[in-house]
Chain A
Amino acid sequence: MRVGIVGSGVMAEVHAAGWRSTGAELVGCTSAHLEQAARLAERFGFEVYPSYGELLKAVDIVDICVPTHLHKAMVLQAAGAGKHVICEKPIALSVRDGQEMIEACERAGVRFFVAMVVRFFPQYRLARELVTKGQIGKLGVMRLKRVSYPPQKSDDNWYFDEARSGGMVVDLMIHDFDYARWLGGEVERVFARLSRSADGVGRYAQVILRFKSGPMALIEGGWAYPPGVFRTALDLAGTDGLIEWSSDEHGPVRSFVLHRPGEAASVGLPVAGLAEDPYALELQHAYRCIQTGAPFEVSAQDGLEALRLALAARESIATGKPVSL
């Protein structure tokens, strides 16, 4: 099948590399940033399309890697054109928008995959597998960490604009909201606090989730570290055992190089192992399911429920009170 990418930033580049491992035909991209798009096209040997409409005509699947506030209109347009959709997380900025997008794709009979990539990281998958096999008994307290650095943009940093990105709690922490829900099921109560820098940007948040089935979770998220530092960790404690993992632990290969300032990627991405790139695994899975008609392991509804948790956390931050769901 033919695939086109919308966007030319960090995620577009990561996805383009991932698509090369799927067997799909990557025909091109479209972007508001022509120079950036031209560089991407040169690297991956595909075309730059002048508009989203033109790209849609040329593909079977569109992969939307643009700022979050643009997701809804693009997904609706793709559904209207009868094209399958891969969409970067977060699905949207409001639950209602996400619902509309899911319904539009259902009505149009196209597949809609929200790229919740953490579900494709091998350590997170294995940890869940061990939990579901009962290796640590009944889940008690989950601790999930995802603390990175502020996204670096030379102009118009849309990440810092909550109206376009949802802010750090929505953009970054949604991964762990989804993962926690994957393990703990539905959430009963959310309490959260957020520290902002003087410019008003949310930089560091701590969220407590209480699940209907009993467990609790502490989710820590941040755009807080110096550029280049991205730390993730999970700690799952149950009645019969414990699973611990941290990105601080030594990997199979450690490199010691001199870093110059400004060398950090513009947006922090967690590093996985050597062989399996989770972004490639994610796209391989989505592509296989679109081809075969099999259900996705992570549904657009899951993406929406994670957004619901992120928005509840934001509400708790705003009101200073726990939010019941």
Chain B
Amino acid sequence: MNYFLKNRKFRWRREETLEQMYVLGVQSIPIIVVSLAFIGLMMILELAFHMRLVLKHDSLVPAFSAVLMVRELGPVITCLLLTSRIGAGIAAEIGSMKVTEQLDALKLLSIDPFDYLVIPRWIGSVFAALSLTMISIAVALGGGALLAAQKLGTSSGEYFNTVFFFVKFPDVLRCLIKAFVFGTIIPFIASYQGFSCELGSAAVGEAATQAVVRASLSIIIADFLLTYLFYAI
């Protein structure tokens, strides 16, 4: 942990950072957007079924689905999917750099591996978490509006009126705070696993697995703590 905390002079690495924003963010768009779109559709169906069963009407389905999507599922599912896509990759990349003495080569060139490898991935991951959360929520709501029109007979106008009535600016802000925190958790845990990886190819695989497991658990725990905090203030 001292390694992460010791005094350092950070250097802005434009090329590496832009590359990571592309690799971690842009290349993750398909899997995350498709997944969130289907989760959004599934949520409309489930909420409609249960609301009809218990409340005997489904007029609040758009409201509940949008609030749940913005407050919880949007940032959490997006970042869990992001963890499985990029967390393992970051840990394996840094781990194999350690095994093949590339980290030693960086240190020998007076290049701080933390500055060179972690900071660009952190910026790339936060960018990915924030932008993909927003994009996937928009896609999920759009898909929800189409399904609601088909299954519930709610017009798009009604759907979005209800959504914007219930989803307030603080909800969006909290969603972005969560995405920022989760987007920070992923590269730091994955990098830590990579840096502390033992030598050997099996150890690299283990570091990648541990990165996904620990980052996923940390995101779920952080989500609870943040939600608790948001309701407390």
Partners in one complex: no
A residues apposed to B, CB below 8 Å: none
B residues apposed to A, CB below 8 Å: none
